[in-house]
Amino acid sequence: MTSLKAHELLTPPCRLIDQTDLPRVGFRGAHSAEYLTARGFTLPDAPNRATAQADGSWVARLSQNEYLLLGSPADQGQRIADEEARWELDHRAHYLLPRQDSHACVLLSGTVIAQVMAKLCGVDLSFPAFKPGAVAQTAAARINVIVIHSGSVEAPAFHILWDRASKDYFDGALRDALEEFGGVGLADRA
């Protein structure tokens, strides 16, 4: 039995790392999969799935033909920044989406992150409903968010992306949700 009295949920704190300034980019189009595969990325085999790359970056598949690439802290996202820089509009259906500028991004990790998100989001992000590698494109605190489970069952971690113009707003909502869990503030940066 577990008690759900809020004050009894002060279990291990969450860790929140602001990755807004870590490079990331999106690609969309019928030729995007072919292009990214040729560039050495391992792609998820279905929409709303995400795959970790060997270098620590992530590729999330947001629809049949749309991919979101999250840079790795290991190389400060350089690989992804290079991909963004080398893209050109050509004859192929392969369009760049400026995700670093359109979205803010944090990495939220810890054992209670599903409960933290349950204060903001109406989608069940707890295991086993939301497994590692799963992607939820939903609303949290009344704005659109993309949640990517980039952790494991033992060590859950969510990449959370949202409208960059609402960064201050959602930072506040997230900080408020974290308060009862003793989570760290948003000072940590990748």
Partner 1 sequence: MNRLPAPMGLLIQRDQPLDFSFDGHPYQGLQGDSIASALLANGRFLMSRSFKYHRPRGPLSMAGQDANSLVQLPQEPNVLADAHALSNGLAVTAQNVNGTLDHDRDAYMGKFSKFMPVGFYYRSFYKPKGMWKVWEPIIRKKAGLGVLDLNFQPEYYDKAYLFTDLAVIGAGPAGLQAALTAADAGAKVLLIEQQPILGGSLTYARFDIAGTRADNLRRELLSAVQQHANIQVLTEATCNAWFTDNYLPVIQGKRLYKVRAQQCLVCSGSFDQPVIFRNNDLPGVMLTSAAQRLIKLYAVKPGKRAVVLTGNDDGYLAALDLHDQGVDVAAVVDLRHAPADQALAGALAQRKIRCLTNSTVFEALHEKGLRHVKGVDVRQITAQGQVSDKGQVIDCDLLCMSAGYMPVYQLLCQAGGKLAYEDSRAEFSLSGLPQNLNVAGSVHGRHQLDNVLADASNAAHDIALALGLSPAAARTPLRSEAQVNFNWPIFPHPKGKDFVDFDEDLQVADIVNATRIGYRDVQLVKRYSTVGMGPSQGRHSALPTARLVAWATQRNISETGVTTARPPFVAEKLAHVAGRAFDPYRQTPMHARHLQAGAKMMPAGIWQRPAYYGKAEDRDACMQAEALHVRNKVGLIDVSTLGGLDVRGPDAAELLNRMYTFAFLKQPVGRSRYALMTNEHGVVIDDGVCARLADKHFYVTATTSGVDRIYQQMLKWNAQWRLDVDVANVTAAICAVNVAGPDSRKVLEQLCSDLDLSAEGFPYLGVRQGTVAGIKARLLRVGFVGELGYEIHVAARHGLALWDALMAAGKAFDIRPFGVETQRLLRLEKGHVIISQDTDGMTHPAEIDMGWAVSRNKPFFVGRRSVDILEAQPLKRKLVGFSLPKGSVQPLEGHLVLNGPDISGNVTSCEYSASLGRIIGLAYAGIDQSTPGQCIPIRVEGGIVVQAEVVQLPFFDPTNQRQEG
Binding site for partner 1 (CB under 8 A): 1-6, 21, 28-29, 89, 93, 95, 97-103, 115, 118-122, 124, 126, 129, 141-143, 163-170, 173, 176
CB 89 → partner 1: shortest distance, Å? 6
State in angstroms the smallest separation of the CB of 115 from partner 1: 8
User: In sequence order, what are the beta bridge partners of 52?
Assistant: 58
Q: How far is the CB of 67 from partner 1 (least distance, A)?
A: 13
Query: Closest separation between CB of residue 55 and partner 1, Å?
Result: 22
Number of residues that this document lists for the chain: 190
Q: Is the Cβ of residue 1 or residue 38 nearer to partner 1 in the bound state?
A: 1
E strands, 10-101, in order: 15-18, 24-28, 49-52, 58-63, 66-70, 95-97
**Which CB sits closer to partner 1, 109 or 115?**
115
Closest CB 26 distance from partner 1, rounded Å? 9
Of 15 and 167, which has the nearer Cβ to partner 1? Answer: 167
Token pair, residue 154, equals 């033992």
Distance in angstroms (rounded) separating the CA atoms of residues 159 and 166: 16
Token pair recorded at residue 9: 């949920």
Pick from 144, 148, 178, 176: which is nearest to 162 by CA? Answer: 144
CA–CA gap between residue 84 and residue 3 (Å, rounded)? 48
Closest alpha carbon to 109 in 73, 153, 157 = 157
Nearest CB to partner 1, comparing residues 40 and 179: 179
- Classified as helix, coil or strand, 79 is helix
Residue 34 or 40 with smaller CB distance to partner 1: 34
Nearer of residues 84 and 150 to partner 1, judged by Cβ: 84
Cα–Cα–Cα angle for 137, 54, 136, nearest 5°? 10
Least distance from partner 1 to the Cβ atom of residue 16, Å: 18
